[in-house]
Chain A
C-alpha cells in the first residue's frame, strides 16, 4: 500500500487546463448577458432623455438617430463605405510599414548595441514629441490624400515597435545565454534560436499597441486635413451639428479598434501556443 502511494506520487501528471466546470460556464454567460443588458439599459435611458428633451438632442444625439445614420451610411446610400475603406487601408498600411521598420531597427539595435546607443537620444526625443504635431507638415509635403495619414500612423507605430523589440531582445533569460555558450552556439544561432524567440511575446504586445496607434494617427491626420476617411466624416458632422454622425463615427472606430485587437489576439494565441 505504501508502495502504491509512492507510485501515485511518482507518476507525473500533465498540468493541462481541465475542462471548465459547469459553474464557470454559466458565470461566463452571465457576464455576456450582463454586458448586453448594460448596453440596452444605457441606450434606452439615453433615448428617453433625448426624446423628452431632458438632454439636448442637438448636442447629445440619440441611439436611434445614430443607428439611422449608420444604416443609411452603410446600407442605403453607402456614403460611409469609401471613407471606412480609406481609413482602414491607411491604418493597415501604416501598421505594416511601422511594424516592419520598427522591428527591423529594434533587432538591429539588439544585435549591435552600439548602434542602438548612438541613436538612443534621437529616438527618445522623437518619441517625446507629440507625433500629431507632425501632421500639418506631412499634409504640406504629401497632400490631403492617403500618404500623409499613413506617415502620421507610421510615425507613431514605428517607435512603439522599436522599443518593444529592443525590450524583448533584452529580456532574454541569462541562463539560456549561458547554455548557448556552453553548447558553443554561433552568434547567428543565438540570435535566431534564442534572442528572437525570447523577444516575440514582447514584440506581440507592441504590435497590438502599434495597430491601435496606427488607427489613432490616421484618424488624427484625417481630422486635421484630408479629402476622405472617417476623420473627415467626423469633423464634417461636428461642423454641421450632426451629433448623431459624430457618434456614429465613434461607434465605428470603437468597433474597428476592437476587431483589430481581437484579430491580433487570435494571431498571438496561434503563434504563441507555448506561453
Chain B
C-alpha cells in the first residue's frame, strides 16, 4: 500500500489553499536550566483536519501543544493560530487535559457546562448543548452524578463533553485517553470520532499510541526523542467516516500500521 510520506525538511511549499489554521514555523523550545525539548519544528494544520502527534515520552509533544494553546511563550520561531500568536484563554482553542480535570463539586452536567459558562454562553444555550453532548458520550442518565461516582472512562467522557461544549474551532487534546484501559480507550476513541465527524473542527491530538493516532487522524506527525523534532508526517488514507471497532478488523488498517512502523524505523535510524 503506497503511503504519502513527507519529511519536514526540506519544507513543503505552503499550500495555495486558504492557509493553515495552525502554522508552526521553526519552533524551538527549552525549559529553565537549558533543557532543550523542541528543535526546529515545522507543521501546518489545515482547517478541519485531524492531526495526531506521536512520539516517545519527554519528546516535547505536550510542550508543542501548550505553545499552540498559548500556555507557554514562544521562545524561538513563529507560531500562529487562526492568524494570530496564541494567548492562553483565547476562545479559538478548546484544550483537553490528560487527566479529566473535572471539578469534583459539580455534577457531570455542571462540569460539561463549565467551560461554556466561563466562555459566556447563556444558561439555556449551554444547558442544551451540555445535555445533548452528555447523551452523545453516553452519560445521559448520569447528568446529576458527581465525578466521584463516575468511573475513569466516564469522567473522561464528561471531560470530552465539556471540551465539545465550547464552540472553539480548534481542539487541542493532550493524551486524553492515555491513562485508560484498552477497552475503554477504544470506546472513547469511537465517541470522539462520532463527535468530531458531525462538526469537523480542527483537532491536534497528542498520543504515544501509534495505533490510536492512525485510527483517528488524517495525518500522523511522528516526533523523535528529546529534543523533539519531526521525523515524518504521514497521510492516513483510511476512508471517513471511520469506525474504530471495525478498523480493528480491517486489513487496510493493519497494513498501514505496519507500513508506518517501517517508515518510522527508517526515519529514526536515518
Contact = CB atoms under 8 A, between A and B. Distances in A.
A175 B101 contact: yes
A68 to B, nearest CB: 50
A202 to B, nearest CB: 13
Nearest to B174: A178
Interface string A94-121: 0000000000000000000000000000
Could you tell me the dominant secondary structure of chain B's interface residues?
Answer: loop
B91 interface: yes
A12 B71 contact: no
Given A12-B138, A176-B101, A183-B115, A275 B151 contact: no
A193 to B, nearest CB: 8
A184 B146 CA distance: 24
Interface stretch (B34-42, B92-100, B224-232, B257-265): B92-100
Contacts of B105: 197, 200, 272, 274
Contacts of A184: 88-91, 118-119
Nearest to A190: B118
A14 B149 contact: yes
A9 interface: yes
A180 interface: yes
B119 A183 contact: yes
Contacts of A197: 103, 105
A15 interface: yes
A16 interface: yes
B118 A16 contact: no
B242 interface: no
Contact of B118 (A10, A180, A272, A273): A180
Contact of A16 (B89, B93, B103, B149): B149
A183 B91 CA distance: 7
B187 interface: yes
Interface in B111-168: 114-115, 118-119, 138-139, 142, 145-151, 153-154, 166
Contacts, number: 75
A16 B145 CA distance: 9
A275 B95 CA distance: 26
A3 B103 CA distance: 35
Interface string A156-175: 00000000000000000101
Which of B114, B150, B154 has the most chain A CB within a 10 Å cutoff? B114
A48 to B, nearest CB: 51
Nearest to A177: B101
A153 to B, nearest CB: 30
Contacts of B118: 180, 183-185, 189, 193
A210 B188 CA distance: 46
Contact of B154 (A12, A176, A179, A182): A12
Nearest to B146: A274
A211 B141 CA distance: 40
B142 A14 contact: yes
A178 B96 CA distance: 10
A266 to B, nearest CB: 19
11 contacts: A12-B139, A176-B101, A178-B71, A181-B88, A181-B89, A182-B88, A182-B94, A183-B115, A193-B114, A273-B146, A274-B104
